[in-house]
Amino acid sequence: MEGRSAAEFMQARTHIWNHMLRYVDSSSLKCAVELGVPDAIHSHGGPMTISELVQALSIPASRAPFLRRIMRLLVDSGFFSILKRNEDDDDDDDDDDVYDLTSSSKLLINNGSSESLAPLVLFISGLEIEMAGQSIGAWIKGGEVTETPFHLAHGKGVFEYAEERPEFNAAFNDAMASDSRVLMRAVVKDWGQVLFGGLRSLVDVGGGSGGAAAAIAEAFPEVKCSVLDLPHVVAVQPEIDLVEFVKGDMFVHVPHADAVLLKWILHGWNHEECIKILRMCKNAIPKKENGGKVIIIDAVLGHGVENHDTMGIPYFLDIIIMTVSTGKERDEKEWNAIFLQAGFQSYKIICDLGVYCVIEIYP
């Protein structure tokens, strides 16, 4: 307390507590998704009491008070709303409280919805990523030199780990695909003509489950869309109409196409690796005057409108990227240096999607 007023001390303490406890936000959100709360309310067709939720989710009745406490936090953070079923009833019966979806939890309905971020929530707040996050301090200290904190925690890199563990591989691919579907629908709707109009072919390099390629192919069936990804990823993908899957390594070969899409790829690699990938992409596309381009979807730090809600996200993502890969989130100057060194003549930031930008680069 030396030299500090009590108010200053309390403010500092509150600041620390708020940050220290942030993980409870994500573990509670994960809990609700794991239990299937958004799905239950959606299937019920309207707001539910805790007893109804407990029954629908096949949770032992004795656990109801614990679920109520999780729901209280998630109401506070805007994932559910709460209202009284019998407005006139002014007794304090908890079972008059009914919980409803908000626009955020509607995006977490998982049962068959093509617009769900539930797999992303489960993966990012999952044990493997959390364990890697717990290793950041030791990794930075560098007692044992490994490429990433994920290597330190799990003895290998994230892609090798995925290759050996089908469940992790599926969770990773589902997580990427879930955000891809939601984001790509918006991109195709608002920017599709600018980005994909006039193309004859496009290859989505590191395209995972093909969610982005499928969204493009549905809206532009005349564009021949393919996905290049690692053999263990392609091997488990179901066939998708209008999308061809190709097994391969982007550091070795990228199939020819008018355009290459790199969505959430380059932020996972360091400067030199990005240059190698982009050189491969440049070899795969025609000259600019013949329509050749690479379309990149990644964060551009400091670009676009930042508001209070989105402000911290690129920095959070940067730490997750550092945890699992050799890459980083970059500002425009860093991107420009990579593009030039990979032999591209120019670039254009086409649009700003909140946290991400779409950049076209031209050979």
Ligand X SMILES: C[S@@+](CC[C@H](N)C(=O)[O-])C[C@H]1O[C@@H](n2cnc3c(N)ncnc32)[C@H](O)[C@@H]1O
User: Contact residues for ligand X (CB under 6 A)?
Assistant: 159, 176-177, 180, 206-208, 212, 228-230, 233, 249-251, 263-265, 268
Task: Quote the least distance from Cβ 189 to ligand X, whole Å.
Answer: 17
Task: Quote the least distance from Cβ 212 to ligand X, whole Å.
Answer: 6
Closer by beta carbon to ligand X, 135 or else 325: 325
What are the C-alpha distances in Å from 60 to residues 40, 64, 71, 243? Answer: 16, 7, 16, 45
With beta carbons less than 8 A apart as the criterion, state whether 206 and 229 touch. Answer: yes
Q: Is 267 a catalytic residue?
A: yes
* Of 42, 151, 154, 267, catalytic: 267
Closer by beta carbon to ligand X, 230 or else 337: 230
Nearest by Cα to 361 from 304, 288, 300, 303: 288
Cα 313 to Cα 304: distance, rounded to the nearest angstrom: 13
Closer by beta carbon to ligand X, 207 or else 314: 207
How many other CB atoms are there within 10 angstroms of residue 247's CB atom? 13
Q: Which residues contact 36 (CB under 8 A, 6 or more apart)?
A: 57, 110
- DSSP H or E run through 142: none
Task: Quote the least distance from Cβ 202 to ligand X, whole Å.
Answer: 13
Tokens of 301: 């730090």
Alpha helices, DSSP H, located in the chain: 6-20, 22-35, 37-44, 50-56, 64-76, 103-106, 118-124, 127-134, 136-141, 149-154, 158-164, 166-196, 211-219, 231-234, 271-284, 313-324, 332-341
Task: Quote the least distance from Cβ 213 to ligand X, whole Å.
Answer: 9
Cα 211 to Cα 48: distance, rounded to the nearest angstrom: 33
Task: Quote the least distance from Cβ 180 to ligand X, whole Å.
Answer: 4
Name the residue with the smallest CB distance to ligand X.
206
Closer by beta carbon to ligand X, 131 or else 246: 246
Closer by beta carbon to ligand X, 189 or else 333: 189
Q: Which residues are catalytic?
A: 267
